[in-house]
């Protein structure tokens, strides 16, 4: 395992993300046996950074990860969790949840934080983040009266947080403003970074901003929810021609190895195969060359018409129709690329009317929760129209 220094710590460059643990059935609770094996293997192979959050796996992830790690000495692993301010609002002195948590009781920021410590079974978080500081949550996190950052700095002083940071899907200027608002406060920042988003979501500017300020970067979505591990055939061929023995996913990780400001690459591993492949990739430093980067740019150019969904499923929680939005978007991408129904027909035939894009009401509730700012109702509308056209044309 490769390690990099972080202040007085030595962090594994591969971090274990805990939002995509194996589940019982497609969307059921965590499959405890399988998930335990994966986390234990990560630990025994030298991974020491474990990332979770208040609502991962519907709130089950924190407690589960804490329980599995508790069998190992506390100073041999580092736990990161997050304050769910991106799902909260503060109006007229009242704190509330929004989105799919609307209506759930919030006793206060301190109650959430204490609940997280208790669920994880720890006295302190090694790393603690504000979850998704972005244009939609900026006012919440900077509200003087509520004082979220002030409260967390107090917890840091009290030893309950060792290192404070934030995750973000916001724009580079939003990140800059937030860092300026709280100077010398945040020790690390977690951003979505991969070779596709380098240009598509301007991850380049965010990375550059953080590197210029000497702030270590924790990477999320290194393979974009798996899509960079499973490119369409023409793109796969381009990469295979250059390095026949390498997996497609290895290109995404080697791209990140070429960025010196990257501290930890979080990978949400669902299977032991993914874990083993990642462990092998992070056992040697093999960054992409300039030639490799030029090839990746060609691959990105070929994929530019794809809807950039990472399958995080945030949107699904808000959908009154219960639509499996990432699945529909993935089908849309496939149809858009292949221009014919082909094997999609099998999937479509197995779906009920209430699961098809035609069931979308266009209400837009999903879009507000999408960290990738995808115009979901518009995409589903286009997909519906493309399906009708494809069917009409046989």
Shortest Å distance, C-beta 360 to ligand SF4: 3
Kindly tell me which of 1 and 375 has the beta carbon lying closer to ligand SF4.
Answer: 375
Q: What number of CA atoms fall less than 13 Å from residue 123's CA on the CB side? A: 4
- Structure token pair of residue 167: 């995750």
Q: Is 196 in the site for ligand SF4 (CB under 6 A)?
A: no
- Nearest alpha-carbon partner for 262 in 171, 308, 182, 198: 198
Determine the Cα–Cα distance for residues 161 and 124; give it in Å rounded to an integer.
5
Backbone angles phi, psi at 81, to 5 degrees: -135, 180
- Residues from 250 through 309 that contact ligand SF4 (CB under 6 A): 309
Q: d(Cα 67, Cα 77) in Å, to the nearest integer?
A: 13
- The single residue among 13, 155, 174, 310 that binds ligand SF4, judged by CB under 6 A, is 310
**156 or 206: whose CB is closer to ligand SF4?**
206
- Is residue 30 within 8 A of residue 66, CB to CB? The reply is no
In the region spanning residues 325 to 344, those forming contacts with ligand SF4, defined by CB under 6 A, are 325-326, 329
Among 323, 331, 341, 387, contact with ligand SF4 (rule: CB under 6 A): 323
Nearest to 296 by CA among 222, 218, 225, 242: 242
| Among residues 204, 232, 293, 313, the one that binds ligand SF4 under rule CB under 6 A | 313
Q: Does 201 bind ligand SF4 (CB under 6 A)?
A: no
Strand segments, DSSP code E, in 35-174 are 49-51, 78-83, 88-91, 94-97, 125-130, 161-168
Q: Which stretch binds ligand SF4 (CB under 6 A): 125-133, 161-169, 286-294, 356-364?
A: 356-364
CB of 151 to ligand SF4, least distance (A): 28
Q: Which stretch binds ligand SF4 (CB under 6 A): 83-91, 189-197, 209-217, 312-320?
A: 312-320
> Least CB distance from residue 224 to ligand SF4, whole Å?
9
Name the residue nearer to ligand SF4 (CB basis): 67 or 313. Answer: 313
> Which range of residues in 65-73, 112-120, 177-185, 369-377 is near ligand SF4 by CB under 6 A?
369-377
Contact between 30 and ligand SF4 by CB under 6 A: the answer reads no
CA distance 39 to 122: 17
| Binds ligand SF4 (CB under 6 A): choice among 314, 332, 333, 341 | 314
Q: Which two tokens stand for residue 318?
A: 């808000």
Q: Which two tokens stand for residue 285?
A: 């430093």
Return the range that interacts with ligand SF4 (CB under 6 A); candidates 84-92, 126-134, 179-187, 362-370.
362-370
Pick between residue 85 and residue 225 the one whose CB is nearest to ligand SF4. Answer: 225
| Nearest residue to 68 via CA among 116, 17, 109, 121 | 121
Instruction: Note whether 319 binds ligand SF4 by CB under 6 A.
Output: yes
Of 285, 321, 345, 354, the one binding ligand SF4 by CB under 6 A: 321
What is residue 17's three-state secondary structure?
A: strand
From the list 362, 392, 393, 394, which residue makes contact with ligand SF4 (rule: CB under 6 A)? 362
Total residues contacting ligand SF4 by CB under 6 A comes to: 29
Residue 147 within binding range of ligand SF4, rule CB under 6 A: no
Provide the angle, in degrees to the nearest 10, between the axes of the packed helices 109-120 and 148-157. Answer: 40
Which of 283-303 are b and which e, b meaning 16 or more Cβ less than 10 Å from the residue's Cβ? eeeeebeeebeebbeebbeeb
Q: Which residues share a beta bridge with 167?
A: 190
| Residue 159 vs 320, nearer CB to ligand SF4 | 320
Residue given tokens 């079974």 in the structure block: 121
| Separation of alpha carbons 73 and 13, rounded Å | 20
* By the rule CB under 6 A, 361 interacts with ligand SF4: yes
Binding site for ligand SF4 (CB under 6 A): 309-315, 318-321, 323, 325-326, 329, 360-366, 369-370, 372, 374, 376-377, 380
């Amino acid at each position: 395992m490769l390690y990099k220094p972080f202040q007085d710590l030595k962090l594994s460059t591969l971090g274990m993300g805990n939002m995509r643990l194996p589940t019982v059935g497609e969307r059921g609770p965590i499959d405890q046996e399988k998930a335990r094996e994966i986390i234990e293997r990560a630990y025994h192979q030298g991974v020491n950074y474990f990332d979770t959050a208040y609502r991962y796996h519907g709130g089950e992830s924190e407690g589960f990860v804490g329980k599995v790690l508790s069998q190992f000495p506390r100073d041999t692993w580092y736990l990161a969790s997050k304050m769910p301010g991106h799902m909260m609002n503060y109006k007229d002195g009242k704190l509330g949840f929004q989105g799919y948590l609307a209506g759930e009781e919030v006793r206060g920021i301190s109650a959430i934080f204490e609940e997280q410590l208790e669920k994880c079974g720890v006295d302190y978080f090694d790393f603690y983040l504000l979850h998704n500081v972005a244009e939609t949550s900026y006012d919440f996190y900077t509200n003087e009266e509520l004082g979220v950052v002030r409260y967390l700095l107090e917890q840091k002083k009290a030893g309950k947080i060792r290192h404070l940071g934030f995750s973000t899907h916001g724009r580079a200027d939003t990140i800059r403003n937030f860092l300026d608002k709280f100077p010398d406060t945040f020790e690390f920042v977690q951003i979505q970074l991969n070779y596709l988003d380098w240009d598509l979501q301007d991850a380049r500017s965010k990375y550059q901003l953080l590197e210029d300020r000497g702030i270590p970067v924790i990477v999320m979505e290194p393979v974009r929810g798996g899509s960079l591990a499973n490119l369409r055939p023409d793109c796969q061929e381009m990469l295979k021609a250059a390095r026949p023995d390498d997996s497609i996913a290895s290109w995404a990780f080697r791209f990140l190895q070429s960025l010196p400001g990257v501290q930890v690459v979080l990978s949400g591993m669902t299977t032991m195969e993914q874990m083993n492949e990642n462990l092998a990739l992070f056992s040697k430093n093999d960054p992409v060359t300039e030639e490799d980067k030029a090839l990746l740019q060609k691959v990105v150019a070929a994929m530019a018409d794809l809807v950039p969904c990472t399958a995080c499923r945030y949107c699904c929680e808000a959908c009154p129709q219960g639509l499996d939005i990432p699945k529909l978007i993935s089908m849309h991408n496939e149809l858009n690329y292949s221009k014919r129904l082909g094997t999609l027909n099998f999937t479509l035939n197995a779906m009920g009317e209430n699961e098809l894009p035609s069931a979308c009401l266009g209400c837009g509730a999903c879009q507000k929760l999408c960290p990738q700012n995808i115009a979901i109702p518009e995409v589903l509308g286009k997909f519906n129209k493309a399906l009708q056209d494809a069917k009409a044309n046989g």
